Structure 1
Amino acid sequence: MPIFNLKKASQSFHHFLQYNEYILAKGCLSLLRCLSPEQSSNLGGILCKIIGTKLPVSRIADRNLQLAIPELTKAQRQHIISKVWENLGRTVGEFPHLATLTLNPPKGPGWEVVGSEYLIEQSKKSGPVLFVSGHIGNWEMLPPAVAKFGVPFSSFFRAASNPYVNDLILQLRYETMGYEVPMFPKGAKGARQALKHLLSGQRLGVLSDQKMNDGIKVQFFGKPAMTASAVASLALKLQCPIIPGYVKRIGPARLRMIVEPPIDYSEFSQNTPENIQKLTQIINDILEKWIRQQPEQWLWLHKRWPKELYS
């Protein structure tokens, strides 16, 4: 068989696998939508906890907890890791239901907000704004919740390797937010697009809690950690507000968005490497404060610190 035909056959088979993966993902999504938000959350939480705690990546979570909160006992760490997996599963299970969750129901599924005054105030203003958060609680609820207050924001995303699945996820996010805002791929190209977006007076949200090898070294839980400096760099360049906030889980499909006052960086507002370092450290300190309050709701599953600490 000619090489060209072999290549074409390989591409066709790859396309076949991707499409079938998409059909499976769409089927799972439809199944979850047949359940109530609470049932879907419970199902995702149970399955993810059963499977996830047995995976090797749980050892990374255990090591992270030893590094970050060394006073924890082994039993306490294992409890937190179990709840981390449960929270992740609940987040997945709740994802197709986020658009249906209502604000301030008396009980059951829904969401509430603390610090809404900062969003209301911002909705009356024009110009670029940065929102900063982390993978805490159900972080997928943050964009649609903020959008309800008239300040929808774009964000970075890591594209799924399967383009069909990627489109499915993006459409679900647009449906949940109620706005089809631009989404920027992680990397240099996405960073340029995000800057252009902000320069046009728009808003951008960034999850700043994961390791970035080409970031800058600042402290996180008392240890050096390579951290993305994009939020600090963009804020100092544009002199725009940075609004920190996160979504805390308080029950099955019951969420609380907590919005804090804009970060005051007026004492070092010049766009210099030193000030980028200082502002990035402030953001890390905020994230650490949130995580310490509910460690079982942060995603401890990646190697956040230097690789030599994991040997």
Structure 2
Amino acid sequence: MTTSSKSGPKRTLVHLIQAAAIQGSLWTVRQLPLSWASAIGGFLFRTIGPFLKADKVARRNLKHAFPDWDQATIDATVRQVWDNLGRGAGEFAHLGKIDVLAPNGPVDVVGLEHLIAARDQGAAIFLSAHMANWEMVSLVAYAHDCPLNNIYRFATNPYMDTYFRRVRGRFVNKLLPKGPAGFREAYAGMKRGERLGLLLDQKLNEGHPIPFFGRDAMTAIGPVELGLRLDVPILPVRIERIAKCRFRVTIHPPLESPNSGDLKADTIAVATEFTQRLEGWIRERPGEWFWVHKRWPN
């Protein structure tokens, strides 16, 4: 038996064990109040995170982004990053229970009129980022009859990928795979009047270099170009964790297109404007962004 044939069953077994452990944990915290699930997730990630390679990535990113910070500030921010990610994991188990319409619920929405206007007009693009609990964008849109088509990255573990798609699929119109096929479907969806939701803060090697914290970051500008080509509103959406498991979702007015006659230049200008806004949001709440991602070239 070859090495590759041995690795297949072994990899499948590992994936099954991982999926059973993670889904079992999520089922368990789902039985607890949201605040407990959030707190447990935060505690676990604060405990385990420092031993992961991603911890070094976060520290390296922060040192480049904030060169004047001392070690104590970086340590405290990385701890906040792990706490936020852990809370998001615990809260994921409760997505079906979170009522974003409740007057005193866990989600405050600012700028709802912009979402309603975009919904009533037809196609639109909502741009956000991996901040606080980014699942809140889809929940808010869905609750106001504006379900989004979301482009997502497949999970490495196929059993967890199926689980994630099943959970997220309840609150979106469609989940579109990252890549050419998903991009084509996003385009077709907007031509049908559907809305697209994107987290535009991840590295894309085939993207365009956009300045971000003083360094060029390869950014996916294709969806922005698509929106400008179809002349649909492109709305920035900010998510903040304003308490341990309480959030504020701010829907901003659509970004203005330069309309210079040069579609590529206009696309870069709009993508740059959003990236600058995102950097400002992160500077205000650095512990809530996904610093564990290799956003810049090494």
User: Normalization by structure 2: what TM-score?
Assistant: 0.92
Indicate if the aligned counterparts of 2:65 and 2:213 stay in contact, CA closer than 8 A: yes
Superposed displacement of residue 271, structure 1: 5.3
Alignment-mate amino acid for residue 109 of structure 2:
V
Indicate if the aligned counterparts of 1:237 and 1:271 stay in contact, CA closer than 8 A: no
Answer with 1 or 2: which has the greater Rg: 1
Alignment-mate amino acid for residue 294 of structure 1:
R
Superposed displacement of residue 138, structure 1: 0.4
Q: The residue matched to 2:67 in structure 1 has which SS?
A: coil
Per-residue Cα deviation, 1:27-64 (whole angstroms, up to 9, x for no partner): 11210111110000000001101111232322221221
Distance 1:105 1:196 in 2: 34
Distance 1:301 1:17 in 2: 24
Unpaired stretches in structure 2, ≥5 consecutive residues: none
Indicate if the aligned counterparts of 1:236 and 1:271 stay in contact, CA closer than 8 A: no
2:267: which partner in 1? 276
Unpaired stretches in structure 1, ≥5 consecutive residues: none
Superposed displacement of residue 222, structure 1: 2.0
Distance 2:14 2:76 in 1: 37
Distance 1:131 1:62 in 2: 30
Q: Is 1:285 paired with 2:276?
A: yes
Length, aligned pairs only: 297
Per-residue Cα deviation, 1:208-238 (whole angstroms, up to 9, x for no partner): 1111111011211122111111232112211
2:154: which partner in 1? 159
1:117: which partner in 2? 113
Alignment-mate amino acid for residue 288 of structure 1:
E
1:146: which partner in 2? 141
Indicate if the aligned counterparts of 1:104 and 1:110 stay in contact, CA closer than 8 A: no
Distance 1:50 1:306 in 2: 28
Distance 1:262 1:62 in 2: 34
Superposed displacement of residue 198, structure 1: 1.6
Alignment-mate amino acid for residue 26 of structure 2:
L
Q: The residue matched to 1:132 in structure 2 has which SS?
A: strand
Q: Could you say what the CA RMSD is over the residues aligned between the two structures, in angstroms?
A: 2.1
Counterpart pick for 2:20 among 20, 23, 26: 23
Q: The residue matched to 2:74 in structure 1 has which SS?
A: helix
Distance 2:182 2:102 in 1: 38
Q: The residue matched to 2:236 in structure 1 has which SS?
A: strand
Alignment-mate amino acid for residue 174 of structure 2:
P
Distance 2:19 2:46 in 1: 24
Q: The residue matched to 2:162 in structure 1 has which SS?
A: helix
Residue correspondence of structure 1 range 1-311 to structure 2 within 5 A: 7=5, 11-103=8-100, 110-126=106-122, 128-175=123-170, 177=171, 179=172, 181-265=173-257, 267-268=258-259, 270=261, 272-307=263-298
Distance 2:16 2:67 in 1: 46
Alignment-mate amino acid for residue 280 of structure 1:
A
Indicate if the aligned counterparts of 1:153 and 1:203 stay in contact, CA closer than 8 A: yes
Q: The residue matched to 1:213 in structure 2 has which SS?
A: coil
Indicate if the aligned counterparts of 1:49 and 1:85 stay in contact, CA closer than 8 A: yes
User: Normalization by structure 1: what TM-score?
Assistant: 0.88
Distance 1:150 1:73 in 2: 46
| Counterparts in 2 of 1:52 and 1:201: CA distance versus 1, 3 Å | same
| Counterparts in 2 of 1:237 and 1:269: CA distance versus 1, 3 Å | farther
Q: What is the percent sequence identity of the aligned residues?
A: 34
